[in-house]
Amino acid sequence: MNPPQNYPPPQYSPANQFPPQNSPYGQYPYMAEDPDQIRARWRLPRRTHPLSPLIRLAPLLIVIFIILIPNTNARQNTASGSPGFTFLSILPVFITPLIIALGGFITWRFRKFWIENGELRISTIFITKDTKHVKLNRIQAVDISEPLTARLFKLAVVRITVAGSARSKIVLAFLRIDEAHDLRTALLLPSPGSDPMASIIAQMPEVPLIAIKGSELIGSTLCRIAPYFALLTVIIITIIASTGVIQVFAFLPFLLFYAAVLASKQYSMWSEFKLGTVPGAFRLTHGLLTLNHETILFNRVQAIRVEQPLVWRPFGWYRVKVNVAGLGDLKSQNMMQTVLFPVGSLSQAFAAIHALLPDLDLARVDMNYPPRRAAWRAPWWSGATCVGSTPTAVLIRRGRMKRQIDIMRMDKVQSIRITCGPWESLLGIGSLAIDSTPGPVKCIARWRDLGEARLLAEHITIMARQARIQKNAQ
C-alpha cells in the first residue's frame, strides 16, 4: 500500500478559502440567508406532512395486498360447500392496518414541533400532555434520509442525534425534502455553546471528492462473495464425489437466494455513493431505495483504516473505515457511519485521508518492522506488520492476505498500553496498543521489541499531548 504517484493530491480548496470575508451577515459570514429569517420560519408549532401516517402504513399495506389478493382468488375458486371468503375471515386483515393507521393519524394530528428559546420543542397533546425540550446546542448531528415510499412524494425523514443520549434519536417523519434541509439548517444555526462548525457545515455546498461507479460496486460486492461460493462448490463436489449424494444440490437455491439478498442489500445501500467535503466535515450521500445523507465531522473522526481484502487486490480496490466518536452502540443504523467509502481506488482513499489530515504526508512516514526474533511468536504475520509515527498520526500497517493500514490521529489518542505475555516476555517482544473510541479501527502494533515499544509509547504520549494542546488552542 504505497502512496500513489500523484500523492499528495492537489489541494481541495474549501478548507483554505474559508470563511469568505465580505458577507452581509456579519457574524455568520457563511450564511446565504439571514439566520433570523430561517429561525422565524420554524417559530410556529407545526405538524409533520399530512401524508405521513399513510406513508408509514404503505409497506404494511403492500404486504397485506400481496397476501390477500392470491388468497381471495383461491377461496372463490373453491366452489365447494364451505363459506370460504367471508366478511369475518378477512376482518382482522382490515382491522390491524386500521388501528395502526389510527395510531399514526393521532401521532400526526396531535404532535407538533417548533423552535423556541434555543430549544427544539416537540409536544404531543392527546389525553396526556407530553412535551420534549431539546437544547439546540446539545444537538450533535442532523441526518436526512429518504426512504423509497417517502421519496415518491418528495418527503424525507429527519433524524436528530442529541449529545448524552446515544440510544435515542429524535425522528421527525415526514417533511418535504426542502423543508427537511431547511430545518437542519435552523437546528444547526450557531447558538451560545453550540459547535460553530456544525452550523457552518450545514450551510456550505460540498466539494465532490469521490463518486463510485456502479460497475465498481457490483464487482467488489461479487468479489466478496465469490470465494465463499468457490469454497462451497468444492465442498459440494467433495460430498458428491465421496458419497454420491446428489441431493446436496437441493441447498443450492437457498444459498443462492441468501447470497443474492446479501449482495443486493449491499448494493442498494451503497449505490449512488458520493463522498464530498465541506470545511470540517465529510458529507456522504448514498442509497438506491433509501437515500441517505450523512455528515461526519472531521473533529469526531478518531481513527481511519484503509483495507483491502485479498480478492480485491488484482483490481486495486480499497475500502476506508473510520472510528467516529459518540456513535455509542454500533448497531445497524450506525454501522453505515463507520464506512467512509465502500470501494474505491487507492488514490481516492488517500484523497479522503488527505482531506481529513492535510498535515499527514503518507509518503514520508518511516515504517519500522518487528525484530527478527518475533518470527518465533508469529512466523507468518510478523514480517508484514509495521508501525510509524508522525506528529499528526500513528500508522500501523499489517496483514498479508487482507492488507490494512490503521491511522490513529495523534490528537485523539485515548490511552496507550503495552502488553506482553510469558512467551513474548522471553523473546523480549510485546504489543503496543493505542486506544480509540469503539469502532472498526483497532490500533495495535504487535510483536514490537519491548524497549522500542516503550520508547514509542513515551514518544506518542508526548506527541499526543502536544497535539491535544494545539487542538485546544485552535
Partner 1 sequence: MVDAFSSPADRPWQGVSPRLKTLRVFRLAPLVTLPWWLVSAFAWNASPILRIALVLLGFIAFGITFFLIVQNYKSWGFVERDEDLWVMHGRFFKKLVVVPYGRMQVVDLNAGPMERALGIAKVKLHTAAATTDAVIVGLENAEASKLRDRMTALGEAMAAGL
Q: What are the grid coordinates assigned to 185, written together?
A: 439548517
Please report whether residue 330 would count as binding partner 1 according to CB under 8 A. no
Which three-class secondary structure state does DSSP give residue 289? coil
Please report whether residue 313 would count as binding partner 1 according to CB under 8 A. no
Min dist CB 21 to partner 1, Å, is 28
Please report whether residue 302 would count as binding partner 1 according to CB under 8 A. yes
The nearer residue to partner 1, 250 or 473, going by C-beta atoms, is 473
State which H helix or E strand residue 451 sits in.
Answer: helix 450-473
Q: Closest Cα partner for 291 from 157, 389, 171?
A: 157
Across 71-109, b (16+ Cβ under 10 Å) vs e yields eeeebeeeeeeeeeeeeeeeeeeeeebeeebeebeebbe
Among 132, 133, 265, 417, binds partner 1 (CB under 8 A): 417
Please report whether residue 371 would count as binding partner 1 according to CB under 8 A. no
Among 326, 371, 383, 440, binds partner 1 (CB under 8 A): 326
The nearer residue to partner 1, 300 or 321, going by C-beta atoms, is 300
Min dist CB 425 to partner 1, Å, is 7
| Pairwise CA distance, residues 221 & 217, whole Å | 6
Among 430, 441, 445, 447, binds partner 1 (CB under 8 A): 430
Please report whether residue 391 would count as binding partner 1 according to CB under 8 A. no
Please report whether residue 22 would count as binding partner 1 according to CB under 8 A. no
Task: With beta carbons less than 8 A apart as the criterion, state whether 448 and 370 touch.
Answer: yes
Which three-class secondary structure state does DSSP give residue 84? coil
Please report whether residue 468 would count as binding partner 1 according to CB under 8 A. yes
Please report whether residue 419 would count as binding partner 1 according to CB under 8 A. yes
Show Cβ contacts of residue 151 under 8 Å, excluding neighbours closer than 6 positions.
291
Please report whether residue 451 would count as binding partner 1 according to CB under 8 A. yes
CA 231 to chain centre: 30
Q: Report which DSSP code applies to 42.
A: T
Which three-class secondary structure state does DSSP give residue 86? coil
Among 453, 459, 463, 474, binds partner 1 (CB under 8 A): 453
| Pairwise CA distance, residues 352 & 274, whole Å | 12
Which three-class secondary structure state does DSSP give residue 190? coil
Min dist CB 300 to partner 1, Å, is 7
Please report whether residue 281 would count as binding partner 1 according to CB under 8 A. no
Which three-class secondary structure state does DSSP give residue 262? helix
The nearer residue to partner 1, 366 or 458, going by C-beta atoms, is 458
Q: Closest Cα partner for 1 from 389, 308, 224, 212?
A: 308
Please report whether residue 414 would count as binding partner 1 according to CB under 8 A. yes
Please report whether residue 407 would count as binding partner 1 according to CB under 8 A. no
Please report whether residue 77 would count as binding partner 1 according to CB under 8 A. no
The nearer residue to partner 1, 136 or 456, going by C-beta atoms, is 456
* Footprint of partner 1 (CB under 8 A): 299-300, 302, 325-326, 412-422, 425, 430, 433, 435-438, 442, 450-451, 453-455, 457-458, 461, 464-465, 468, 471-472
